[in-house]
Amino acid sequence: MVVFDATLLMYLFRPEIDPPTDVSTGLIIDRWRDRLNLLVATLEKERTKVIVPSPALAELLVRAGAEKSQRIVEEINKSSVLKIESFDALAAIEVATMTRAASAKQK
């Protein structure tokens, strides 16, 4: 299971926004769209559940407008891997625990 934050969701569902930049160089990240598409394709192939926290979804939809918001929600609901979930305090604690564990494994 993975969790997509609002920034990743923006790049996934709102391609008209400015491309991401490397904070250390200020340059546009090379092949960012290809990288994002590969991530999504890999998660779909592995049937990895992707959580879309409701606060991140709200942030995504704020500037999308009503019609585009509806299309985004429909696309998420049709996805075999994306799942909108409420995100309360318990969920925040669980994600923090999982993130710490994953970080510890990488060291």
pTM of structure: 0.76
Q: Where in the chain are the domains?
A: 2-106
pLDDT(101) > 90: no
The span from the CA of 12 to the CA of 59, in Å, is: 13
Residue range 60-97, pLDDT digits in tens? 998 888 899 999 999 999 998 999 998 888 888 887 88
* 68 close to 99: Cβ distance less than 8 angstroms: no
Among 54, 53, 72, 70, CA closest to 11: 72
